[in-house]
Copies of this chain bind each other. A is one copy, B any other.
Amino acid sequence: MALISIIEDFHPLNDARLLYRAEELKPSLHHEVVEPVGGFQLKERYSHEKEDIVLHKVPHLAMGKGQNLCLDFGSHQVGYLTLELSYTGSHPDAPAFLKLKFSEVLDELSENSEEYDGWISHSWIQEEYVHVDVLPASITLPRRYAFRYLKITMMDTSPKYKLIVKHAECLTETSANIRKFRFEPTGDELNDRIFKAGLRTLANCMQDVFEDGPKRDQRLWMGDLRLQALANYSTFRNMDLVKRCLYLFAGSRFPDGRISACLFTRPTVAADDTWMFDYALFFVIALEEYLQETNDIETLNDLYDIAMQQIETSLRMCGENHVVNREAAESTFIDWCESMDKTACAQAVLICALRYARRLARRKNDWSQANWLLQKLELLRDAAIAEFWDDERECFVSNGQSAIAAQVWMVLADVLEPEKARRLMERDSEFMTPYKMATPYMHHYYVMALCRTGLMDKAEKHMKEYWGSMLERGADTFWEAWDPDNPDASPYGGKVINSYCHAWSCTPVMMIRKYFNQKGVKNGL
């Protein structure tokens, strides 16, 4: 997730007590040393053509000016790189000048990052220039990288010597306890492969918070957190990490109390000046889901009022007709699809949030609030039908558009009777263009809508096709954005800036364990 919002003189409202509690919940990190499993050389500077190198010969490869060595660390890693460097020839009489390029997928290696001209900062591209003054040397880079491949280019040695990379290793870092995790084969090979890639995606995004992506942006986004938490409940069950993130979002908010779409944790915790209608409401949903798993009364008591405040803020953005206004629609994310009208989706997300808020109120024995929420829910549901259901086209239409996203979210909001919802999802192919689903984030909710209407086979088939097509393309972890029909697309104006291990894409682990491994079970959104 990445989005640009700028509010001048923005000072988040910080709650020291909640932030202190979040700090107490900071996880310890697990480490592992990973060495390369293979090596190759790219024939030209920005070429795709490669020449394989026998791994045990790599330590003897002498690199002169302009030469490169690509190391393959076997799968996607998040951690710190150490290189042991030596030389051959005369005593080095000038520093070794190296360029290190870390890449999550093979395609990135042959891209010229200087050509990237999209709207995301070029500074996310994982490239470093390093001078090594004394050889032999063991160098450990101070920054953390997300990568499978490492391309080492000798920018210059001197005519007197060549560089040798004797050893390379990555000290991985994650708060997921992978060693304790027990993988249970499903009997379906593709599902097992998808599960494993999803699990690695989740684990590599689990750091001292749930990061959206370990390459970029390396921080908490509310929409991503909600999906990570769901995947976590089906796998690592690190409840404290979810709790910590909920406290962080509650602990630093907009001055008027709204939950920010995203949080910074360094140098100190600070809400970003970005607010999104749907992301703020996911705080309510994620809190209730956390309580379903833990029944943690401390968290309910601490965060209940803040959750209700998000509902109230959103309800104030509805008109007299109980339909969300233009501002709400324009502040709603749903998917990377700029031309899509998001009014119907925003309405549906708010209805979902009201359902979850009502459950929270009942947990809290706050019956008057629960009743009030039920009234609101019914008003908004009726308004959704009145405003967005097109009897003729038999689908939801938002400002003339019948996008799949609108159908999906209205199904998830239970706006239709079950049989009508099922018939709508059976006809989903009618809504797939021109407002195509762009991200695994949207595909997740699409699969959930299929599950919710009982279309389990269709749901599983779609998961296998969509997430499976990333595996076919060489994914070790699932990607931030992916359109199998348009593999080179990027919402960020260039693939080199894409995140290829992205939290919101990890949910197949939950789908497989919760839905497709025990077909027919349909609980949860």
A73-117 interface bits toward B, Cβ cutoff 8 Å, 1 = contact, 0 = none: 000000000000000011101111100000000000000000000
A129-B129, A131-B128 known; A89+B121 contact, CB < 8 A = no
The interface residues of chain B lying within 8 Å CB-to-CB of A91 are 10, 264, 270, 272-273
How far is B89's CA from A6's CA once the two chains are assembled, in angstroms? 8
- Shortest beta-carbon distance from A14 to chain B in Å: 13
Tell me whether A123 and B134 are in contact (CB under 8 A): no
Tell me whether A143 and B133 are in contact (CB under 8 A): yes
A155 at the A/B interface (Cβ < 8 Å)?
Answer: yes
The interface residues of chain B lying within 8 Å CB-to-CB of A378 are none
The interface residues of chain B lying within 8 Å CB-to-CB of A119 are 159
A160 at the A/B interface (Cβ < 8 Å)?
Answer: yes
A262-303 interface bits toward B, Cβ cutoff 8 Å, 1 = contact, 0 = none: 101011001011000000000000000000000000000000
User: What is the total number of copies of this protein in its complex?
Assistant: 2
A120 at the A/B interface (Cβ < 8 Å)?
Answer: yes
Q: Which one, B2, B5, B65, B128, contacts A129 given CB within 8 A?
A: B128
A1-38 interface bits toward B, Cβ cutoff 8 Å, 1 = contact, 0 = none: 01011110010000000000000000000000000000
A372 at the A/B interface (Cβ < 8 Å)?
Answer: no
Tell me whether A156 and B93 are in contact (CB under 8 A): no
A144-156 interface bits toward B, Cβ cutoff 8 Å, 1 = contact, 0 = none: 0000000000011
- Shortest beta-carbon distance from A503 to chain B in Å: 17
Q: Which one, B10, B131, B159, B267, contacts A90 given CB within 8 A?
A: B10
A157 at the A/B interface (Cβ < 8 Å)?
Answer: yes
- Shortest beta-carbon distance from A266 to chain B in Å: 5
Secondary structure at the A interface, as helix, strand, loop or mixed, is loop
Tell me whether A157 and B6 are in contact (CB under 8 A): no
Q: Which one, B2, B143, B156, contacts A122 given CB within 8 A?
A: B156
A10 nearest in chain B by CB position: B90
Q: Which one, B95, B123, B129, contacts A95 given CB within 8 A?
A: B123
Interface centre among A65, A121, A128, A143 (most CB of B within 10 A): A121
- Shortest beta-carbon distance from A223 to chain B in Å: 16
Interface residues of A (CB under 8 A from B): 2, 4-7, 10, 65, 89-91, 93-97, 119-124, 128-129, 131, 133-136, 143, 155-160, 216-217, 262, 264, 266-267, 270, 272-273
17 pairs, A vs B, C-beta closer than 8 Å: A6-B90, A6-B159, A90-B272, A91-B270, A93-B262, A93-B272, A94-B123, A94-B217, A95-B123, A119-B159, A121-B156, A122-B156, A123-B155, A123-B156, A128-B129, A133-B143, A136-B267
Instruction: Kindly list 18 other residue pairs between chains A and B, CB separation below 8 angstroms, not including A95-B123, A97-B122, A129-B129.
Output: A4-B159, A6-B159, A6-B160, A93-B121, A93-B217, A94-B121, A94-B216, A95-B124, A96-B123, A97-B121, A119-B159, A122-B155, A123-B156, A123-B158, A128-B129, A134-B266, A135-B267, A136-B267
